[in-house]
């Protein structure tokens, strides 16, 4: 079997070893005579899957004991609503850093629930950079400050997170969780849909400081309260059991790779190959993000002053050469290579080579 050079933005590449292990135990899980997804979520077997995935995530991200790990449904998009619902008590506002498309969606959704203000924005710079701490204005009645650690569409990333005093920092890490070590104790809440670095779609990971979820407003529906899921160890209702199991396998794979520092090193080597081609192309390729903020997860670029004809040709020829997912997001156009943890170095080497050859043919 030939594996495609998969640069999809999400759902995205899953490590081959993980897929193979899932395949090997797909029909008969742990000698039970049934697949994991056929089992009760109240069984000891699933409880172990649920607990092991939490424990491994805690170990790999060095998550302190006073944080809960939740496996929820509804994607990161549901977190856009759950966060303000749970944290915007009377008189409080959510402060949002506007870094592009995903931050924008979080802000829009928060406004359906309560008051959301923009604490800083890089809109005037076409979202080519992320606002720094000195630009962020936090209102006195802010319940939290929300940042998007990696903008999947724009291709910018916070390399270091703003330090904002006592206001809890909330981060959407959907597209860069587990790609590098982060100091979880600096955050009130971290959330991420699984379908990029964690496994398949269907489960959303939330890491939240316990004291922040002690008292959700009573008016919130049961399923949308963090305390519901925290008290029930993510087993309040039927969980996405197969997705949680897959996340557990991905976490084991990361541990076997040597943990997050090693994963980060590998990722930076991978993306350097592609960013180098962009930087050394004499302007044939143009990176969309400022160098200091560019993402090691989503490499966004254009060809020769946004030459859409050439970009179309690039996508077409890349597909014929075995590459998948290089077309930019429909909202911004251009090109994008998503190089999540599971994208192997070999795929990036092949892409760098293809890009050089494409330039030589078309410059």
Q: Report the DSSP beta bridge partners of residue 117.
A: 95
Q: Which of 172, 253, 293, 327 is catalytic?
A: 172
Q: Which of 13, 61, 69, 76 contacts ligand PMP by CB under 6 A?
A: 76
Position 77 contacts ligand PMP (CB under 6 A): yes
Buried b / exposed e along 268-301 (16+ C-beta atoms within 10 A): eebbebbbebbeebeebbebbbeeebbbbbbbbb
Distance of CA 31 to the CA centre of its chain: 34
Least Å distance, CB 34 to ligand PMP, is 29
Binding mask 125-164 for ligand PMP (x = CB under 6 A): -----------------------x---x------------
Please, what is the Cα angle at 177 between 175 and 178, to 5 degrees? 130
Position 8 contacts ligand PMP (CB under 6 A): no
* Nearest to ligand PMP of 172, 311 (CB atom): 172
Q: Which of 15, 75, 154, 287 contacts ligand PMP by CB under 6 A?
A: 75
Least Å distance, CB 195 to ligand PMP, is 6
77 is in an annotated binding site: yes
Burial of 250 (0-12, 13-18, 19+ CB in 10 A): buried
DSSP alpha helix (H) spans, the chain: 16-24, 44-61, 75-87, 101-113, 226-231, 241-257, 260-279, 308-320, 345-362
Position 339 contacts ligand PMP (CB under 6 A): no
Position 172 contacts ligand PMP (CB under 6 A): yes
Selection from 285, 330, 324 nearest residue 304 by Cα: 285
Look up 253 and say whether it is catalytic.
Answer: no
Q: Which of 68, 196, 252, 327 is catalytic?
A: 196
76 is in an annotated binding site: yes
C-beta neighbour count of 36 within 10 angstroms: 22
Report the residue count for the chain: 363
Applying CB under 6 A, what is the total number of residues that bind ligand PMP?
11
Q: CB–CB of 69/192 below 8 Å?
A: no
- Residue 11 CB contacts under 8 Å (≥ 6 apart), including other chains: 195, 196, 200, 201
Q: Which of 98, 102, 252, 253 is catalytic?
A: 102
Q: Which of 5, 10, 189, 190 contacts ligand PMP by CB under 6 A?
A: 10
* Nearest to ligand PMP of 150, 281 (CB atom): 150
Look up 172 and say whether it is catalytic.
Answer: yes
238 is in an annotated binding site: yes
Q: Which of 174, 267, 339, 341 contacts ligand PMP by CB under 6 A?
A: 174
Residues numbered 212 to 241 that lie near ligand PMP (CB under 6 A) are none
Residues numbered 90 to 129 that lie near ligand PMP (CB under 6 A) are 102
* Nearest to ligand PMP of 57, 106 (CB atom): 106
Q: CB–CB of 27/33 below 8 Å?
A: no
Look up 186 and say whether it is catalytic.
Answer: no
Alpha-carbon torsion, ordered 352, 355, 359, 360, to 10 deg: 60
Q: Which of 94, 193, 248, 344 contacts ligand PMP by CB under 6 A?
A: 193
* Nearest to ligand PMP of 76, 303 (CB atom): 76
Least Å distance, CB 149 to ligand PMP, is 8
In Å, what is the CA distance from 151 to each residue of 45, 103, 110, 298?
A: 37, 8, 18, 8
195 is in an annotated binding site: yes
Position 300 contacts ligand PMP (CB under 6 A): no
- Residue 65 CB contacts under 8 Å (≥ 6 apart), including other chains: none
Burial of 203 (0-12, 13-18, 19+ CB in 10 A): buried
Which residues belong to the active site?
A: 102, 172, 196
Residues that bind ligand PMP (CB under 6 A): 10, 75-77, 102, 148, 152, 172, 174-175, 193
Known binding-site residue numbers for pyridoxal 5'-phosphate? 76-77, 102, 152, 172, 195, 237-238
């Amino acid at each position: 079997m030939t594996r495609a050079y998969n640069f999809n933005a999400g759902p995205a590449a899953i490590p081959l070893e993980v897929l193979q292990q899932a395949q090997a135990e797909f029909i008969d899980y742990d000698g039970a005579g049934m697949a994991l997804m056929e089992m009760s979520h109240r069984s000891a077997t699933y409880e172990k899957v649920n607990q092991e995935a939490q424990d491994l995530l805690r170990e790999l991200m060095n998550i302190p004991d006073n944080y809960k790990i939740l496996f929820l449904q509804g994607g990161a998009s549901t977190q856009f609503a759950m966060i303000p619902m749970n944290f915007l008590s009377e008189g409080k506002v959510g402060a949002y850093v506007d870094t592009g498309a995903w931050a924008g969606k979080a802000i829009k959704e928060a406004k359906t629930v309560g008051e959301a203000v923009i604490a800083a924005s890089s809109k005037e710079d076409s979202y080519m950079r992320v606002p720094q701490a000195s630009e962020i204005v936090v209102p006195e009645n802010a319940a939290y400050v929300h940042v998007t650690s990696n903008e999947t569409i724009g291709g910018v990333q916070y390399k270091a997170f703003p330090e904002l005093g006592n206001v809890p920092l909330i981060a959407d890490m959907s597209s860069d969780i587990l790609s590098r070590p982060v100091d979880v104790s600096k955050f009130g809440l971290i959330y991420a849909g699984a379908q990029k670095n964690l496994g398949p779609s269907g489960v959303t990971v939330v890491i939240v400081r316990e004291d922040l979820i002690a008292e959700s407003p009573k008016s919130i529906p049961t399923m949308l309260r963090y305390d519901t899921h925290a008290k029930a160890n993510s087993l309040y209702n039927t969980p996405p059991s197969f997705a949680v199991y897959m996340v557990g396998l991905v976490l084991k794979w990361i541990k076997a790779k040597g943990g997050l520092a090693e994963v980060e090193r590998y990722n930076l080597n991978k993306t350097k190959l592609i960013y180098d081609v962009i930087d050394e192309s004499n302007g044939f390729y143009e990176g969309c993000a400022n160098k200091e903020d560019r993402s090691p997860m989503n490499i966004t670029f254009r060809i020769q002053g946004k030459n859409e004809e050439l970009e179309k040709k690039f996508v077409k020829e890349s597909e014929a050469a075995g590459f998948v997912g290089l077309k930019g997001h429909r909202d911004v156009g251009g090109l994008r290579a998503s190089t999540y943890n599971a994208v192997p170095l070999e795929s990036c080497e092949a892409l760098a080579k293809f890009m050089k050859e494409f330039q030589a043919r078309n410059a």
